[in-house]
Amino acid sequence: MAMRLATEYVKTCLQLTEAEMAMFIQMFVDQEASLQVKVLENGSQEVVLLDDAGQEIILSFEKEIDLYVCRGTCRITNKNLVNVMRKAVSEFKGDAVVHRIYPSYTMEYTYKQGAVVRIVEKSAAADKIIYEYKDTIGQMEQLYQNKAVEQEIDAIKAQINGFLDLRNQLEDPIVREQIDGRLQKLTHRLFVLEA
């Protein structure tokens, strides 16, 4: 198995309450990560982690009403920090695009609401989709909820009834022929929609 060189959080969005912010920090403390928490004047916080090579990884959490919001990028090489960050994104229902970088390729993971929705292997040769989440139940529910076809069927039935009433009232054969032509088109459309 190829050795991972680094993990890069290309796009990250975590939204944490004050209690979740404390839990987030505790996750790193539990893994004995070297970290500092800086509280800024406006209530925002910076979590500064030290990587293996002594590199600082700065996660800035902006205070927005009742939430701490982290948007940004970071590159992590320490395996423990990578695992804690992955757990944090999952547990706190974050969104992220993560590149796991290997010598000859990169695996791109896309997280939505803490769940992996897509995995793509990127190499010089080509991109290859490894996994993609499909919400078939959600799509079926959306189709079921779509009332446009039913509304069109009701409108066509009302038009057909109106034309039939008009046809029965009129005796002019030319006008009846035109109504019959229109009725034929409407019944064909109704057949297509109900099929």
Instruction: Indicate the CATH number of 6-133 among 3.30.160.110, 3.40.190.10, 3.40.50.720, 3.40.50.300.
Output: 3.30.160.110
CB 75 within 8 A of CB 8: yes
Kindly tell me if the per-residue pLDDT of 193 is higher than 70: yes
pTM score above 0.85: no
Phi-psi region of 90 (alpha: psi -120 to 50; beta: other; left: phi over 0): alpha
Q: Which of 166, 191, 192, 189 is nearest to 179 (CA)?
A: 166
Q: Residue 3 has what DSSP assignment? A: P
Q: How many CB atoms lie within 10 A of CB 97?
A: 16
Structure tokens at 26: 């505790």
CB 98 within 8 A of CB 11: no
Domain boundaries, given as residue ranges, for the chain: 6-133, 141-194
Q: What is the pLDDT of residues 105-144, one digit of tens each?
A: 999 999 999 999 999 999 999 999 999 988 788 777 877 7
Q: What is the pLDDT of residues 1-35, one digit of tens each?
A: 578 888 999 999 999 999 999 999 999 999 888 89
CB 72 within 8 A of CB 60: yes
Q: How many CB atoms lie within 10 A of CB 93?
A: 15
